[in-house]
Structure 1
Amino acid sequence: MKTITQNLKQLSVITLLTIIAFTSCKKDTQNEVVDQINKEQILEKKILDIIPQQYQDTLAKLGITLNRETTPPDMQGAFTFKPLRLLKSNRPTDQANMTFKDADIKFFEQDKETGSIKLISKFLLNDADTSIATAVSGKGNAFTIYGKVKSVSGSNSAIFGVIISGERNGALINNLRFGLINIDNTNGGTRFIKQGEARAIVDADFVSQSIPMF
């Protein structure tokens, strides 16, 4: 009887430990799911604060891909976008396949925990463009960068929503597209496209080369 009792006690201990281990693993999994949901919600709010949904929808209809996941590639670096051609526009006066000046852009200070990133560009919109607020989303090599950008031309300035999407492959960006929409032309005068007007533009050779940081 003593041996049977000891065996039963050992079995009870093993069963209890198994239950505790299972419960712990289950809680860890639940916590991971909750953390992921929270991360997605925080990033979504950040993106909406940068570019309201109606402007995102406008650019998506023009052909801009929105990669909304929370594990984007490291986008830090400088790149040149060329040759640039119009993909689609909501401006009746824009001609099909119109071309644009080559653009240089720098991404820096990317934070993978918060989804924040900064950008500075030359000729993406105008001579000098600086992000007021920027976020990055995506998964694997696919990325989308959302920027609220102040574009300056002489004494005039306007606030644009900019969405840049593509694939980061080593030192290159492939299949790059970017959309821009004027979201505040209060100080823009006639130097920019009108508020609410938008363009989707593509790197026509599908390869955006890296350049030295500027």
Structure 2
Amino acid sequence: MKTSVKALFYLMVLLSLSCQKKEVEPDIFSEEVQKVAPQNIIDDLRSWGVSIHSGVTPPDIEGVFTLDYRILVRTYDPDDKSQNGFRITPHRLAFSEQSADNQLVKTEFREIGKASSDSWGKGAVSGSGNKFTFFEEEVYGNSNGVYLRYINVISGEISESGIKDFHEVNAYIKEKTSEAPSHVVQKIGQFQLFKNKDNRISSRTDKL
């Protein structure tokens, strides 16, 4: 009799749990993000293990961060693993002038020890809670026209001490024109992926 009562109790618990709705973060992105990275590109990046955080309520990510543990985990040719594990030259990354709704922000990269920055940009931010993903589109070309359109992505979880679970996509090839010169060998959908060695944090610092 006791066994039957226990079985009935466990069955009622299981039924109760199955009826509860799981809270799942909606996989939605703002129009600004979708202009840069359509869903098919987001899906492709995720299929290669890139953390892309959805949502339209991203956190405040302003600050300067030291990128001194980045290693290459995927080169443009995914079958070429000869350079995997290569440590990237340390840089600092600044996020600044984030919009009131946190969905747009400026970036600046500078190699540590140098007086001037390597690159500047502005892009869209997705995410919710403390998790975010930054998307930026750039072009490569000259006076004869644009040869490539590519996307840079930075993703992670912001904290008081820095960025955890840091992922950086360098130059995902979005478009390539037939006029591109022969030295532009990258193909549509190819990209480089960097992560922090041993999943170390990209710590906050005071200045570039």
Percent of residue pairs identical: 20
Task: State the alpha-carbon separation in 2 of the partners of residues 122 and 210 from structure 1.
Answer: 14
For the pair shown, which has the larger CA radius of gyration, 1 or 2? 1
**Partner of residue 182 from structure 1, selected from 153, 173, 178:** 173
Aligned to 1:204: 197
Unaligned runs of 5+ in 2: 1-25, 112-116, 142-146
The Cα offsets for residues 161-190 of structure 1, whole Å up to 9 and x where unpaired, read as 112111111041111111121335669857
Q: How many residue pairs get matched?
A: 168
- Does structure 2 retain, via aligned residues, the 8 Å contact 1:86–1:99? yes
- Does structure 2 retain, via aligned residues, the 8 Å contact 1:164–1:176? yes
Give the letter aligned to residue 192 of structure 2: R
1:148 is aligned to 2:137: yes
- Does structure 1 retain, via aligned residues, the 8 Å contact 2:61–2:158? yes
**Partner of residue 61 from structure 1, selected from 39, 47, 51:** 47
- Does structure 2 retain, via aligned residues, the 8 Å contact 1:62–1:199? no
Task: State the alpha-carbon separation in 2 of the partners of residues 111 and 88 from structure 1.
Answer: 32
Residue pairs, 1:1-214, within 5 angstroms: 43-89=29-75, 91=77, 92-95=79-82, 96-113=84-101, 115-122=103-110, 128-131=118-121, 133-149=122-138, 159-180=149-170, 181-184=172-175, 194-196=186-188, 197-205=190-198, 206-214=200-208
Q: TM-score, normalised by structure 2?
A: 0.66
Structural RMSD (CA): 3.2
Q: Which has the higher helix share?
A: 1
Offset at 1:121? 1.6
Task: State the alpha-carbon separation in 2 of the partners of residues 183 and 106 from structure 1.
Answer: 25
Unaligned runs of 5+ in 1: 1-36
